Structures are given as C-alpha cells and as structure tokens.
C-alpha cells in the first residue's frame, strides 16, 4: 500500500510557506471548531471576523447547496441569479440612498475597486491613508496600507499615498488638497489591534472631503456586517462616506466582497470588471447571511456589554463584538497559546494587542466561557 503523507506534510512540501500555522481545523459548527485530533475549541477568531453567523449556519448552508444545484457560475456578461437582490439589500443597509454596488471576491479587491472608482470619477491620482491602517495585500491596496514590513519590499507602489497619524485632523487638513482623489480610513483599525477612531475624527474627515472634493472611503472589511452593533461602523459616528468597502462577514466564509458608492458615483461600461465577482452562490450565501444578521443585530449591544464587564480587569476596547486587549509584544503570543490550550481561539493583532472577533451568533454561556479562559490566560 502506498504510504501517503498527511496534509501537513504536503503543505510543507508543496505550499508556499507564507503562513505560520500550528493547528489543523477539520470541522466547524456554530461557535465551535474541532482539530484533526478531535479537540473542540470555542472560536473567537471566526476566520478573522469572517464567520459572522458561526460555522455552517443551516440557513447559509441551505442557500449555498440550493443554488449549487441550479447554477454555480455564469459570466457577468449575463444577469446573475441573486445579484440584483443582494445589490438592493447592500444599498439599503448601507444607508447610501440611491447608491450602487460593485461586487468583488475579497476585501482587497473591494478596495481596489474603490481606488479605481475614486481615480476615474475625480480625475485625481493621490490618496491619503493612516499609519497602522490595513487595506489589503494586492499592489494597489498595499499602496494605501501603512505597515512598512509588508509594503516596502514591493515598492515603488501606485497609486501615490501620503500617510498621517490616525486621529490627527490638523495634519490631515494640511495634506488634503485639490489633487487628492480619496481619503481611506478604517472606522476601527482592526489589524492594528482594534483601535477605534477618536471622537469627531470621522466627521472631520467628512468635512475635509467636502471642502477639497476628495472622496471619503471607509474600509469596513472587518468592521462591517453588524460587527460593531450597526451594519457599518460609520453609522455609529453619524456620517456617510462616498464609498464603503466590505467583505469578511458578508457571506459567512464564502469568498465575497463589495463596494457601495453614493448616488451619482458609478463605473461606466468597460471601466471595471471581474469574472467571478458576484457569482450566484456567493450572492445566495450573502443574502442568507444578511437575513441571519438582521435577526441577531439587536442583540449585539447586550453581548458586547457582557464581554466588556467580564473582561473589565483587562481594560478591553470593546466595539460591539470586536474587542482588543493590550497585552504587549512579548506577552501576547503566550496569552494566545494559553487560550488555545484552554480551548478558546483568539489571535494577536498589531502592537501586542489581543483581538477577539467571535461569531455574531455567540451565546451568553459561550461568552462566559471565553471570558473565563481569557482572564485565566492573562493571569
């Protein structure tokens, strides 16, 4: 009998070693996953805020399977099943009345679309983004991503982007001018460690964009789809962007992204395109996901407060079900590992910050279990 190597060995031999892994997950259900040795974990990573409705939610699974039996793919040369319905729903929940949608396969692709739309509609080529911001790893999305370790090896990058301190409206005012196509901003910096925008910061960006004609582009890839207690985090600040990008939690793990642009801001025929974007199955998964989130969205503030009170001794930054805890660069990996040993998955984001982004469907008892493990891991 042929001696077949296991998948971990195959990964080490044939897959580009771009990721650091120490766990093989083979099954998921609700808030839990199981590894290849049968150990069960409460998943507070959720694919990095992707599995918004938990793992394998019955409504999402049914939507995917039903559509797969009818049509898996059809080119965007034709009308695509579920696409128009999803576009209508995304405009509705974004609050950008009269807006239009372009769909993508990921957050980076959604941000690429936002960059292209801003450039072609303004006729400008310069962007402004913020230190510690993250918008993707494709060349254009990387150009507006600050992290030097992942950006600088691939320079020079286009489009041109200036970076300034997150929260510094005075510096932003000095940079923004009539050559600025757009200002890219995360309402909460996720990869930096769940760092919320200072009070008035998003409103200040909106005012600067109105004064200069630049477009306000909010990256809601991690914060969107109910994660912060509203459909999108900019809604908590009472502002509307010109373009909002989204992905991660939009389709419960099925690859999907999109932008919604305000009324009067749209691609013309031939200006942008994609073979796979907005396919029948992705749109079916997204529609089912939104239906589930609509049911649980009113519960997010209560769940958020349960995390806040349970982790109070650790001074958490709690924004809905997006939680950051300062642990320190040296300590954070150890805390993450101890949580894993206790059966709870969390991860370290930037600057030694522990990031907790569980499924939005997480129950009270599951929150209590997560809190107990996290507190004990810090102790």
Integer Cα distance of 67 and 154 in angstroms = 40
> What is the biggest distance separating any 2 CA atoms in the chain, rounded to whole angstroms?
72
Integer Cα distance of 4 and 365 in angstroms = 42
Catalytic residue among 219, 242, 303, 307: 219
Cα dist from 103 to 275, 282, 348, 375, whole Å: 11, 10, 30, 40
Catalytic residue among 242, 248, 254, 303: 248
Integer Cα distance of 328 and 350 in angstroms = 10
Catalytic residue among 127, 134, 201, 307: 134
Q: Is 248 considered catalytic here?
A: yes
- Residue 126 neighbours by CB under 8 Å, 6+ apart: 159, 160, 161, 162, 179, 180, 181
Half-sphere exposure of 4 (CA within 13 A, CB side): 3
Q: Is 219 considered catalytic here?
A: yes
Place of tokens 């459909």: 231
Q: Is 132 considered catalytic here?
A: no
Residues assigned a catalytic role: 134, 219, 248
């Amino acid at each position: 009998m042929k001696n077949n190597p296991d998948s971990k060995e195959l990964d080490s031999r044939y897959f580009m070693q771009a990721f650091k892994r120490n766990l093989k997950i083979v099954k998921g259900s609700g808030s839990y996953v199981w590894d290849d040795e049968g150990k069960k974990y409460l998943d507070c990573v959720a694919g990095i805020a992707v599995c918004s409705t938990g793992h394998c939610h019955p409504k999402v699974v049914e939507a995917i399977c039903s559509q797969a039996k009818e049509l898996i793919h059809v080119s965007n040369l034709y009308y695509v099943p579920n696409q128009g319905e999803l576009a209508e729903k995304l405009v509705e929940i974004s609050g950008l009345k009269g807006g239009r949608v372009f769909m993508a396969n990921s957050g980076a692709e959604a941000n690429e679309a936002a960059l292209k739309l801003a450039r072609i509609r303004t006729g400008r080529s310069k962007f402004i983004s913020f230190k510690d911001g993250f918008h993707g790893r494709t060349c254009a999305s990387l150009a507006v991503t600050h992290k030097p370790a992942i950006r600088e090896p691939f320079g020079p990058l286009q489009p041109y982007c200036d970076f300034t301190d997150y929260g510094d409206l005075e510096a932003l005012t000095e940079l923004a001018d009539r050559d600025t196509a757009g200002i890219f901003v995360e309402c909460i910096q996720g990869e930096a460690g769940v760092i919320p925008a200072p009070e008035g910061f998003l409103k200040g960006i909106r005012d600067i964009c109105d004064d200069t004609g630049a477009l306000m582009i909010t990256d809601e890839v991690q914060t969107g789809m109910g994660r912060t207690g509203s459909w999108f985090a900019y809604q908590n600040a009472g502002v509307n962007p010109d373009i909002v990008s989204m992905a991660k939690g939009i389709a419960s793990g099925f690859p999907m992204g999109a932008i919604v642009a305000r009324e009067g801001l749209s691609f013309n025929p031939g200006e942008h395109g994609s073979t796979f974007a907005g396919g029948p199955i992705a749109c079916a998964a997204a529609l089912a996901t939104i239906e589930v989130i609509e049911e649980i969205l009113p519960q997010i503030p209560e769940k958020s407060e349960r995390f806040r009170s349970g982790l109070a001794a650790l001074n958490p930054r709690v924004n809905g079900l997006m939680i950051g805890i300062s642990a320190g660069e040296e300590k954070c990996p150890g805390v993450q590992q101890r949580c894993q040993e206790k059966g709870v998955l969390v991860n370290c984001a930037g600057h030694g910050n522990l990031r907790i982004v569980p499924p939005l469907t997480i129950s009270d008892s599951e929150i209590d279990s997560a809190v107990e493990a996290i507190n004990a891991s810090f102790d």
